[in-house]
Amino acid sequence: MAELDQALDEAPLSRFHSRAVVTAGMGFFTDAYDLFIIGTVTTLIGKSWHLTSAQTGLVNSITLISAFVGAFVFGRIADVLGRKKVYGLEAALMVVGALASGLAPNLTWLLVSRFVLGIGVGGDYPMSATLMSEFANRRDRGKLVGLVFSMQALGTLSGYVAALALLAAGVDHAVTWRLLLALGAVPAAAVVYLRRRMPESPRYLSTVQGKSQLAAASVLEYSDGVVRTSAPTEVSVRQERRPTGAMPLSRFLGTPRYLLLLLGTAGSWFVFDYAYYGNSVSAPLIVKSVLGKGGAHVLTEALALQLIMFTVAAVPGYYLAVALMDRIGHRRLQLLGFFAMGAAFLLIGVIPGVTAAILPFMLLFGLSYFFAEFGPNTTTFVISSEVYPTSARATGHGISAGIAKVGAFIGVYLFPVIKHHLGVSGALRLSFGMAMVGILLTLAIPETTRRSLSELAPEEVVSAAERLVSAQRVTG
């Protein structure tokens, strides 16, 4: 029902938008905590478990490779069976994975638990983004989806604060790392509760399933009357739009327009995550190497410096992106962020002695953090939720996020090895190259700012036969 789409697009910011941000954003808070806390954990267990560089890289990155599976599978299910079918299920996996990780008696157990956790984390990417973009209005969509993503900042900060608090309290390292991993189950459990109370996406109900009356009634109730179309009882059968059905995967991957969009969204996200996760997950290791080797206090100092740098540099980047992206332009901000972030990496890599000097290193590394958040870390998440039609939105975002996590896996897994052979400066020069590739790939994406979702991605009606085959592939 075009009237419903327009009502959602033009709705003023209201309390129902805030509820959607919290519901979607709590999932992303959990994702960030679980993904980034592992760098601290491997620093704590490295010596006691006698981990090699390769094993450290695998523990740090196993969640990221399973996130590829989760993002693709949950994204596809959400398009075929509905957003509501998936709400909370991915968070339940995160609860199980976090608790099992905290109880790990050996390396194999930890790897399996983190793999399960990663499926849930990956599944939450398309769900968090799609959930918010389909409830958002046209004018503030970047801000609203960006606010969901900015919960990553709070999740990451919570990890650093929890680690510092436990270490400062003198809690034994063998207990500390288990608590840090298990704590991820707490916000994930809250997500399960919140998501199950969330209604089905009105755009999905109306467009993909053709249930315009139900969609109008649902959004009217959820928005407390803010998003109002014709009264549901007055909507005639003639106004019911023909359901598009979920776009078959074969059609999605066989259409040149969508393949070009995937090159832009998945490709730019892949190269960004290679650089960002490789540096961020290994940040305690990086900062510790700059400080030099010493006793247990060095890890505490490294975490404290990392917390300060993240708070001062990264957090403002997240929230400035939220505040300004709808003015600057989503694609334009991504280009700017890639360029500035890459320049900071390059300076660290080429200035002699900078990795041995704490203050210059922290300033440049902090600058890279700022422009990662005030740029591609936020915009890749937002844009991938905008450029695909409702019938394939979660699929497109899931593929993009999943491929990105493959890049993150490669970056995190290889970082300890690259650092061992090339040093921190060599690893960051490689990250500079990835940022430059990201600029080129971003050019394949259209500007999405303040354009309606239906304008950005016109819908295609799927035949009943295609719809049946698509559903059978998912459920079978």
Q: Which CATH superfamily is domain 2-230+239-245+255-475 in?
A: MFS general substrate transporter like domains (1.20.1250.20)
Q: Which two tokens stand for residue 458?
A: 């016109």
Q: What pLDDT is attached to residue 464? A: 53
Angle (CA) 151 157 159, round 5°:
110
C-alpha–C-alpha distance, residues 417 and 425, integer Å: 13
**Do residues 391 and 207 touch, judged by C-beta distance below 8 A?**
yes
**Do residues 247 and 460 touch, judged by C-beta distance below 8 A?**
yes
H or E segment to which residue 96 belongs: helix 89-102
Intra-chain end-to-end CA distance of the chain, in Å: 31
C-alpha–C-alpha distance, residues 150 and 172, integer Å: 32
Cα-based distances in Å from 34 to 67, 88, 118, 196, 340: 12, 16, 9, 21, 28
Q: Sign of the C-alpha dihedral, residues 274, 276, 281, 285? A: positive
C-beta atoms surrounding 327 within 10 Å: 12
List CB contacts of 213: < 8 A, sequence separation 6 or more: 232, 235, 240
Coil, strand or helix at 200? coil
List CB contacts of 344: < 8 A, sequence separation 6 or more: 364, 365, 367, 368, 371
* Residue-by-residue DSSP string for 215-283: HHHHHHHHTTTSS--S-GGG--GGGSPPP--PPPHHHHHH-HHHHHHHHHHHHHHHHHHHHHHHHHHTH
List CB contacts of 320: < 8 A, sequence separation 6 or more: 374
Q: What pLDDT is attached to residue 103? A: 96
C-alpha–C-alpha distance, residues 427 and 416, integer Å: 9
Q: What pLDDT is attached to residue 233? A: 47
Q: Which two tokens stand for residue 265?
A: 């969204």
**Do residues 439 and 372 touch, judged by C-beta distance below 8 A?**
no
- Domain positions in the chain: 2-230+239-245+255-475
Q: What pLDDT is attached to residue 298? A: 62
C-alpha–C-alpha distance, residues 269 and 433, integer Å: 14
Q: What pLDDT is attached to residue 239? A: 47
Amino acid at position 230, single letter: S
**Do residues 376 and 318 touch, judged by C-beta distance below 8 A?**
no
- For the chain, 476 residues long, the average pLDDT of each consecutive 10-residue run is 84 92 91 88 88 86 92 96 89 96 96 96 94 94 96 91 90 94 94 87 92 89 84 46 84 95 98 82 57 58 77 92 97 97 89 76 86 96 97 97 92 76 80 94 96 87 55 59
- Short-list 192, 179, 190, 195, CA closest to 99: 179
Contacts 24+ apart (CB under 8 A), 356-365: 356/290, 358/290, 358/291, 358/305, 361/290, 362/305, 362/309, 365/279, 365/286, 365/309
**Do residues 159 and 37 touch, judged by C-beta distance below 8 A?**
yes
Cα-based distances in Å from 122 to 13, 89, 139, 319, 362: 29, 12, 28, 23, 31
**Do residues 410 and 274 touch, judged by C-beta distance below 8 A?**
yes
451 DSSP assignment: -
List CB contacts of 216: < 8 A, sequence separation 6 or more: 1, 4, 202, 206, 229, 230, 232, 235
**Burial class of residue 76 (count of CB atoms within 10 Å of its CB; 0-12, 13-18, 19+):** buried
Contacts 24+ apart (CB under 8 A), 361-368: 361/290, 362/305, 362/309, 365/279, 365/286, 365/309, 366/309, 366/312, 366/313, 366/314, 367/313, 367/340, 368/279, 368/341, 368/344
C-alpha–C-alpha distance, residues 86 and 74, integer Å: 7
Polymer length in residues for the chain: 476
Gyration radius from the chain CA atoms: 22
